[in-house]
Amino acid sequence: MGETMRAAVFRGKNDIHLEEVPLPKPGPGQAVVKTTMTTICDRHPHPQG
């Protein structure tokens, strides 16, 4: 693994950026998990109004 990773950085409503960030350093009893795939599902009910 390198010293950085790509991350989706949330800056605010409708403001998400893909950036290179430093790898997090896990503390005692913690682990860094590499995600290889994610999905987005828009099948949840939306409030009417």
Q: What is the distance between the alpha carbons of residues 49 and 39, in angstroms, rounded to a whole number?
A: 27
What is the token pair recorded at 18?
């893909």
Q: Domain of residue 8: give its range.
A: 1-49
What is the token pair recorded at 12?
């605010």
Beta strand residue intervals within 3-48, DSSP E: 4-12, 15-22
Please state the domain count of the chain: 1
Whole-number pLDDT of residue 46: 66
> Could you read off the pLDDT of 2-49 as tens digits, one per residue?
799 999 899 999 899 999 999 999 999 999 888 888 887 777 666 665
